[in-house]
Amino acid sequence: MPRLGQKYALDVETVAKSREAYQSEAYVATGLPAAPAVMVENEIAAQGPSISDEGLEAVIRRHLGLPPLDK
């Protein structure tokens, strides 16, 4: 994920918590996704063990107002 942050000159913030913290009532009340997940602004761009760079890049480009990449 840092590679895409560099490619698009974005600030990347990594949040790491214990499994217990992600499962706590306080965390669930925030409405944020459980790990692993990637958010772009307020959108959950990807969640789960199979986060693809291609899917994440598509969300980043959409948020930046850029056209989709050619396949």
- Residue 28, H or E segment: helix 25-30
Burial class (CB within 10 angstroms; exposed 0-12, middle 13-18, buried 19+) of 60: buried
The residues facing 37 across adjacent strands are 47
DSSP state of 38: E
pLDDT in tens, 20-55: 998 999 999 998 888 888 999 889 888 888 888 898
User: What is the structure's pLDDT at 50?
Assistant: 84
* pTM of the complete model beyond 0.85: no
What are the residue boundaries of the structural domains of the chain, listed by start? 2-63
pLDDT in tens, 10-19: 988 888 889 9
